């Protein structure tokens, strides 16, 4: 693995970093306080081509590799995790399934606005009793045959929760996983057939519930969804019927790599803020960074960032080269999320009382980083996947 970025990748990273510092960071506290997604910033991100980074030019994308997306996510997460996850989820969970499994007609309808940031898409998987155990999905979709045996409609009933980008003013479509059939095995057990179906925003019977009152990620849009006799065309099936779960697993593995990049960015942001403060905060006639304990704490923070970055670089490299990367994605997600939490804690401690004020970026990182150990598969799920990669049953 070559850990050196290309000139093009370095230029992209620098561009997004500058955008993050000059556009996102100055507005971050205001939008966090208002708990509102800044659509003007999302539009500017679209103008920069960030939502189209890993997609082919033929789909309206930038034709870059997946690492390029990760670099952009990392640069944004340094100053605002909510903005970073809006990009990460919008691309990985919103656009990627349509690009990977959509028909020509589906791509033609949805991609032009999605890859340019004019619209957002969401992925509805999680339910009250079906998170890591997607097999426990209760949302159902049944075909209702059209007149004279013509094209039918999917009738969807159920609910989803914790769905990112699902209720913004520019959300255009949500991909929903639903039980579309059952198979009784030889041993008498029943296996659910899961499929993915595209549900446009505004469809009758599709209700977006009130936004969650979250500990962190206040700017990120997250809602529960309900489906009551929701009817969409049979052609809205995304991919093959019965392949919804298998297709989602690939999307989730890819998403964990970008999620690890987000966590690395958060850890990096904490390091940068704490280092700046340690150099300027004067106590007893000298800057606190000259105290060995503070210096060693900052050194450990730097080591965590370096380790997390190398982990997601490795996973992204394997992904780009069509090599197996499931375990590496879980390692990157595990290491990155733990680095973000540890660095947020240490940075807050270095700032003292100032680290407990929400206007301070490290305080927001402290609130935001906990979900990094939960979203896109909990820490325990990552450990389970890694253990299985070692040939263990966990």
CATH number of domain containing 175: 2.40.110.10
At residue 281, the 3 state secondary structure works out as: coil
Which of 199, 146, 144 lies closest to 173, judged by CA? 199
On whether both 134 and 114 belong to a single domain, the answer is no
pLDDT in the model for residue 145: 86
On whether both 37 and 133 belong to a single domain, the answer is no
Phi and psi at 26, nearest 5°, equal -60, -25
Residue 147's pLDDT band (boundaries 50, 70, 90)?
confident
Whether 376 is catalytic:
yes
pLDDT in the model for residue 278: 96
Residue ending a domain, among 222, 241, 260, is 241
Give the structural domain span for 22: 7-119
pLDDT in the model for residue 280: 93
pLDDT in the model for residue 394: 63
Whichever domain contains 288, its CATH number is 1.20.140.10
pLDDT in tens, 308-323: 999 999 999 999 999 9
pLDDT surpassing 80 at residue 292 = yes
On whether both 86 and 211 belong to a single domain, the answer is no
Residue in the block written with tokens 């997390």: 308
Q: Residue 354 carries which DSSP code?
A: G
Average pLDDT, the chain: 94
Residue ending a domain, among 198, 219, 241, is 241
Distance of alpha carbon 300 from alpha carbon 303, whole angstroms: 5
pLDDT in tens, 214-272: 999 999 999 999 999 999 999 999 999 998 888 888 888 999 999 999 999 999 999 99
pLDDT surpassing 90 at residue 112 = yes
Determine contact, residues 288/278, Cβ cutoff 8 Å: yes
Helices 292-320/244-280 angle, 10° precision: 150
Average pLDDT over residues 9-29: 97
Residue 394, in any domain of the structure = no
- Pairwise pLDDT comparison (192 vs 1), residue with the higher score: 192
Average pLDDT over residues 367-375: 96
- Spot the catalytic one: 74, 88, 328, 376: 376
As for how many domains the chain has, the answer is 3
Instruction: Name the pairing type of β-strands 222-233 and 190-200.
Output: unpaired
Residue 190's pLDDT band (boundaries 50, 70, 90)?
confident
Which of 229, 265, 330, 320 lies closest to 6, judged by CA? 320
pLDDT surpassing 90 at residue 133 = no
Tokens of residue 363, six digits: 């305080």
Residue ending a domain, among 92, 119, 146, is 119
**Ramachandran area for residue 226 (φ above 0: left; ψ -120 to 50: alpha; else beta):** beta
pLDDT in the model for residue 299: 98
On whether both 105 and 94 belong to a single domain, the answer is yes
On whether both 74 and 181 belong to a single domain, the answer is no
On whether both 60 and 159 belong to a single domain, the answer is no
Which of 362, 334, 353 lies closest to 259, judged by CA? 334
pLDDT in tens, 27-54: 999 999 999 999 999 999 999 999 999 9
Q: How many residues does the chain have?
A: 394
Count of C-beta atoms within a 10 Å radius of residue 349? 14
| Percent of the chain whose pLDDT exceeds 70 | 98
Tokens of residue 275, six digits: 């280092």
Whichever domain contains 40, its CATH number is 1.10.540.10
pLDDT in the model for residue 202: 96
pLDDT in the model for residue 54: 95
């Amino acid at each position: 693995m070559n850990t050196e970025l290309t000139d093009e990748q370095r230029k992209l990273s620098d561009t997004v970093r500058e955008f993050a510092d000059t556009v996102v960071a100055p507005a971050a506290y205001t939008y966090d306080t208002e708990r509102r997604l800044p659509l003007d910033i999302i539009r500017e991100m679209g103008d920069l081509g960030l939502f189209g980074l890993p997609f082919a030019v033929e789909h309206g994308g930038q034709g870059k590799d997946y690492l390029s997306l990760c670099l952009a996510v990392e640069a944004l997460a340094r100053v605002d995790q909510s903005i970073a996850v809006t990009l990460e989820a919008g691309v990985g969970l919103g656009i990627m399934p349509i690009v990977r499994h959509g028909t020509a007609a589906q791509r033609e309808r949805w991609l032009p606005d999605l890859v340019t940031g004019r619209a957002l898409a969401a992925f509805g998987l999680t339910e009250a009793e079906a998170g890591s155990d997607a097999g426990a999905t209760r949302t159902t979709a049944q075909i209702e045959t059209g007149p004279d045996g013509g094209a039918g409609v999917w009738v969807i009933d159920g609910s989803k929760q914790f769905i990112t980008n699902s209720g913004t003013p520019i959300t255009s479509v949500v991909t929903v996983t639903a039980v579309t059939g059952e198979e009784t095995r030889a041993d008498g057990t029943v296996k659910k057939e899961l499929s993915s179906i595209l549900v446009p925003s505004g469809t009758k019977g599709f209700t977006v519930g009130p936004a969650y009152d979250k500990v962190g990620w206040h700017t990120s849009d997250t809602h529960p969804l309900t489906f009551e006799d929701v009817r969409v065309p049979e052609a809205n099936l995304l991919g093959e019927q019965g392949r919804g779960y298998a297709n989602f697993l690939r999307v989730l593995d890819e998403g964990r790599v970008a999620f690890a990049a987000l966590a690395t960015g958060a850890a990096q942001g904490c390091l940068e803020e704490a280092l700046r403060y340690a150099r300027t905060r004067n106590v007893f006639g000298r800057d606190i960074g000259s105290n060995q304990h503070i210096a060693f704490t900052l050194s450990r923070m730097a080591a965590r960032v370096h380790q997390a970055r190398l982990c997601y670089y490795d996973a992204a490299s394997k992904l780009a080269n069509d090599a197996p990367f499931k375990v590496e994605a879980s390692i990157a997600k595990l290491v990155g999320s733990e680095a973000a939490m540890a660095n947020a804690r240490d940075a807050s401690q270095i700032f003292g009382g100032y680290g407990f004020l929400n206007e301070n970026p490290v305080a927001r990182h402290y609130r935001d980083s906990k979900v990094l150990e939960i979203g896109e598969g909990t820490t325990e799920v990552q450990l389970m996947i890694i253990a299985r990669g070692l040939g263990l049953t966990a």
